[in-house]
Chain A
Amino acid sequence: MSKIGVFVCHCGENISATVDCKKVAEEAAKLTGVEVSLDYKYMCSDPGQTIIKEAIKEKGLTGVVVAACSPRMHEPTFRKACAEAGLNPFMCEMTNLREHCSWVHEKNDQTTEKAIDLVRMLVEKTKLNKPLNEIKVPVSKKALVIGGGIAGIQASLDIANAGHQVILVEKEASIGGHMSQLSETFPTLDCSQCILTPRMVEVAQHPNITLYNYAELESLDGFIGNFKATIRLKAKSVDPKACTGCGACYNKCPKKKIPSEFNEGLGMRTAIYTPFPQAVPNKPVIDKENCNYYKNGKCKICEKVCPTGAIEFDKPDEFVTENVGAIVLATGFNVLKPDFFPEYGYGQFKDVITGLQFERLASASGPTLGEIRRPSDGKVPQKVVFIACAGSRDPAKGIPYCSKICCMYTAKHAMLYQHKVHGGESTVFYMDIRAGGKNYEEFVRRAIEEDGANYVRGRVARIYEKDGKLIVKGVDTLLGAKPVEIEADMVVLASAGVANCGAEELAQKMHVSYDPYKFFAEAHPKLKPVETNTAGIYLCGACQAPKDIPDTVATASGAAAKVIGLFSKDELTREPLVAVVNRIASHDVSTCVGCFMCQTACPYQAIEREEVKNRAGEVIKTVARVNPGLCQGCGTCVSFCRSKSIDIQGFSNEQMYAEVLAVLNTP
């Protein structure tokens, strides 16, 4: 027999001004199973909580209903109080007399009647509550970081420095990501390589970090605290243990005309290569697509010249499996190749380049050693046009969103150009300048005021080539859309930032949700900016949306903090409000028929198949089982189950049924 305590809160006058709290308590006392019912000015106050605790102890209550404010506010408070008094916290329920009653209705009998109904509902529900224990999940304190750009580097170092093991997976031959390609960084104009390279080296040397370069996530199983990640180590054709990074191989490789990805096609590389001189690890890999040996079976020059015999042809990809407790996704972004803008002639005219290509031209380590020279003939361009929003804010051909970083990097490009080419003319076509950030607006103003970049408000309609010049046709909308035609030597398109290739596939592998542009989705856009909807998987950097370096690093440290927080305990506790499949005593009495409709419906892959065997070890049936580590307690499966074999703790069929009948005051 239940012994329920009902505690009606006045909330000062918030409730009692419209609800007759005393009457509510009196009526509640009349309900079957209610042992004690009283009202008090502030239930959540210390004295209020003491009243509840004492009632539990004195009357031996089996359940508590607090009629006060929204459970979204104080449910944890009262459950904690009950636990302190020795009552299972999940035997405590709240009913909302404030937000759902006193604040939204006039003072009259009906309002008090409603309050009584609300209390009755929860009393009937609480009678059917069962003591629940928090779910404890062990945590393996090792993190997997996917992506070795600045975001992944920062997150890995933060986690590793907190004393935890980190597996860093990078799909390219070297870590460093897009940041390693940049020349200078806004708004301080410090050299990108100079600030990044020490971090890359730190990663390579950190005792807590295992770096898998040239590797990709193959598959992921498990759940928070207990993921099992299989990683594909793509065959490098070079044994990293034997290789000393001397460079004899790539100096002798006969295939020298492969457009370098690192130099955005403006420079060339060999078939056996390291992406760039400061690469970490600084050991080459063979690009099988372009290697003579892999293409036609002849060559092997690298093998001959290698002093340590590190070249190993025809080795298959390998796989490693790592058990990790948390995952940080730091897969970054990609730059949209603006060839979908036929009117700008990218791909058709050699001197129409992307912003990232300009970075390589301006970079001291780039193909021109930092001199601005146009790709077609190597001449120093005297007139350069920069076109902002080449792809961004263009639902028709590009992407509808603002790529956020382009205004700043375009200002930087104009500035770098003016610094490097004295007497050069730069024109920036823009629509709006988005320079929200510390010292950002000042930076753009400097480009205009001090370095003399000519900013024209308007979008370019078309570019065509004539006599070695690029004719750029635009308007100045601030002069009543007056036509502006510039004969430029080079055009730089501020191409949009988009989700990295393979983002969708990766998200599906990991069950992380993503937005229509394939950027990974945060659990909450404001309050959970580095979490995903899948517990234990965190996000940082430009895989969420285009981000500049400061924001990327901030989110990386944020994600790392979440991981470190998770690793601060040996076990994870979770609310036990999860689904369960009925299994009284032994397996075979489960009424589950194993149709697995619930499995299709579950958004969390929390439903597993469990084989029920007889004594002879033969499988007699397969039934569903809920993995409490994965289940988030939505209960969608419950309403699918035809035989009602699956139920959800805390919102069980019996409880909800009782609540509905009680609302309508049906005994």
Chain B
Amino acid sequence: MNNEFEPKVVAFVCNWCTYAGADLTGTSRIKYASNVKIVRFPCTGRIDFMLLLKAFANGADGIIVSGCHPNDCHYTSGNFHARRRWILFRSLLDFMGIDINRIQFSWVSAAEGAKWADIVNKTVTNIRELGPYMEYRRAANFLEANEEELTKELARNKEEEVKHG
């Protein structure tokens, strides 16, 4: 075992394009980093933004979201809906200081086996550089960590109350 940080990357992909594209990567025997695990959805339109947050909360360091190119959606418009959602979601996360560089969006068609390998490798390299995503995970027990500080603050308040009494 080496000590290098191995990022955990979850890929949310649609069944018709990117999943099939990743199948093609396999049949073409193109190698890519094994850090990525694919969760299959019927369509990018199905991918709930909460699942992305859940992945971060539960230890994912990076996320790939990928589906059919515009106009290629098996369901005609799921990817268009998804695109709108991601435009807003990204700006909200960015505004809240959540690291959007850890989410890679892409369109990978069933014919783009090589592109899929490329995206995975790029994302893994990128996340490896960014390091583990601790901030978001730590926020889960933020209060616990600050309990001490809170106690102090409460005490201080009390003192002041007494002073002003």
Contacts and interface: CB of A to CB of B under 8 A. Distances in A.
Nearest to B76: A603
A244 interface: no
Interface string A58-91: 0000000000001110000000000000000000
A639 B85 contact: yes
Contacts of A656: 39, 41, 48, 51
B43 A634 contact: yes
B142 interface: no
A577 B42 CA distance: 9
A636 B48 CA distance: 9
Given A121-B37, A657-B54, A663-B37, A103 B26 contact: yes
A32 interface: no
A110 B49 CA distance: 29
Interface string A96-117: 1011110111100011011001
A636 B81 contact: yes
B46 A651 contact: yes
Given A639-B85, A664-B55, A632 B75 contact: yes
Contact of B23 (A72, A653, A660): A72
Interface string A589-609: 000000000000101100000
A651 B42 contact: yes
A604 B43 CA distance: 14
Contacts of A99: 22-27
Contact of B34 (A101, A577, A660): A101
Interface in B39-78: 39-43, 45-49, 51, 54-55, 58-60, 74-78
Given A99-B23, A639-B47, A664 B117 contact: no
B30 interface: yes
A411 B49 CA distance: 59
A569 B3 CA distance: 62
Nearest to A650: B42
A103 B29 contact: yes
A278 to B, nearest CB: 42
Contact of B42 (A648, A664, A665): A648
B103 interface: no
Question: Taking chain A's interface residues, is the majority helix, strand, or loop, or is none over half, making it mixed?
Answer: helix
A117 B58 CA distance: 14
Contacts of A113: 34
A638 interface: yes
A101 B20 CA distance: 14
A604 B77 CA distance: 10
B93 to A, nearest CB: 16
Contacts of B42: 577, 633-635, 648, 651
A114 B78 contact: no
B45 to A, nearest CB: 3
A659 interface: yes
B158 interface: no
B45 A664 contact: no
Given A636-B75, A638-B48, A653-B48, A104 B32 contact: yes
A215 B20 CA distance: 44
B10 interface: yes
Contacts of A117: 37
A661 interface: yes
A533 interface: yes
A99 B40 CA distance: 14
Contact of B45 (A72, A103, A639): A639
Contacts of A632: 75
A110 B45 CA distance: 32
A10 to B, nearest CB: 16
Q: Using C-beta atoms within 8 Å of the partner chain, give the interface range for chain B.
A: 35 or more
Interface string B1-39: 000001010100001000110111111011110100111
Contact of B60 (A98, A110, A664): A664
Contacts of B76: 513, 533, 603
Interface string A109-131: 01101100110010000000000
Contact of B55 (A106, A634, A660): A660
A666 interface: yes
Nearest to B48: A639
Given A72-B19, A72-B20, A636-B75, A659 B46 contact: no
A666 B75 contact: no
B45 A114 contact: no
Contacts of A666: 58-59
Interface string B103-127: 0000000000000010000000000
B12 to A, nearest CB: 8
Contacts of A633: 42
Contacts of B85: 639
Contact of A660 (B26, B39, B43): B39
Contacts of B10: 660, 663-664
Contacts of B58: 660-661, 664, 666
Nearest to B14: A634
A648 B46 contact: yes
A135 B22 CA distance: 30
Contacts of B78: 603, 634-636
A653 B41 CA distance: 11
Contacts of B47: 639
Contacts of A648: 42, 46
A651 to B, nearest CB: 6
B136 to A, nearest CB: 13
Given A99-B22, A100-B22, A659-B39, A105 B45 contact: no
A634 B31 contact: no
A636 B78 CA distance: 6
Contacts of B38: 96, 100
Closest 5 CB pairs of A and B: A99-B26, A635-B46, A636-B45, A634-B75, A103-B26
9 contacts: A70-B23, A96-B26, A99-B23, A101-B34, A104-B31, A635-B46, A651-B42, A660-B55, A661-B58
Interface of A: 70-72, 96, 98-101, 103-106, 110-111, 113-114, 117-118, 121, 513, 533, 577, 601, 603-604, 632-636, 638-640, 648, 651, 653, 656-657, 659-661, 663-666
Interface of B: 6, 8, 10, 15, 19-20, 22-27, 29-32, 34, 37-43, 45-49, 51, 54-55, 58-60, 74-78, 81-82, 85, 117
Given A72-B15, A661-B58, 18 more contacts: A70-B23, A71-B40, A96-B26, A99-B25, A100-B23, A100-B38, A104-B26, A104-B32, A104-B34, A113-B34, A121-B39, A635-B41, A638-B48, A660-B51, A660-B55, A660-B58, A663-B39, A666-B59
